Amino acid sequence: MAAIFVTGTDTGVGKTLVSKILIEHFVSSGLRVAAMKPVASGAIKTPDGLRNDDAETLLRATNTTFDYSQINPYVFEPAIAPHIAASQSNSLIDVNKLDEAFSVLSAGSDKVIIEGAGGWQVPLNHSLSFADWVSAKQWPLVLVVGIRLGCINHAQLTCLDILQKKNPLLGWVANIIDPGAACQDEIIHYLEESIDAPLLGKIPFSTQAERQNMSRYLVLDRLLGNEN
């Protein structure tokens, strides 16, 4: 497991939060950990160029030193689908560039935590999706399920495609993103019985989750143990 890819059932379900927790877990276990946000839509202009908040959050959590451009090879200002943002900026997301960045990160670390954009099937360009790119690598996955109305369908369809593509699914995280959602416990219980991977934990709703220590809500020792 030189790399773990963090995907989600949709955008805004907590992939960055879970990726940050994974990074901090492996750092505390004594590993050199790098982060990667291959493609990011939604960035602000800075004196150093465009910067995406999610990528910078992951970068701050690591204990390795890499350039921002290696952590986040493609960054676009508008918060829209990556392939559309790329088209609007007259560029094309090239997976070879992503591969080159990953090679640099993996050569200088023990573990790379890679966060996707949006959901599992988000396009990178008109011929390839994140699912295609990750499946070609056969990287193990952690799935973040945003617990809200409709998430059962999203989670089931995502897991079905992940397993059909024979990607190792290490586990899934239930992240409460709608505190008003009815029957949260029943939803999580149903998914725990139907998803063919362990539930790694349930993260309660918080408007400041990424600024708080949420690692106590996940049980990640089994991920470290898989390396031995």
Strand partners, 76: 41
> Which residues on adjacent β-strands are paired with residue 50?
45
Quick one: how many helices (H) and strands (E) in the chain?
A: 9, 10
The DSSP bridge pattern shows strands 44-46 and 49-51 to be antiparallel
Cβ–Cβ under 8 Å, residues 197 and 143: yes
Q: Which of 15, 20, 37, 111 is catalytic?
A: 37
Calculate the alpha carbon distances from 163 to 18, 116, 142, 174, 195 in Å: 21, 17, 12, 19, 10
Which residues are CB-neighbours of 23 under 8 A, at least 6 positions away?
Answer: 33, 35, 58, 61, 62, 113
Q: Is 37 a catalytic residue?
A: yes
Q: For residue 186, give the H/E element and its range.
A: helix 184-194
Torsions phi, psi of 26, nearest 5? -70, -35
Enzyme catalytic residues: 37
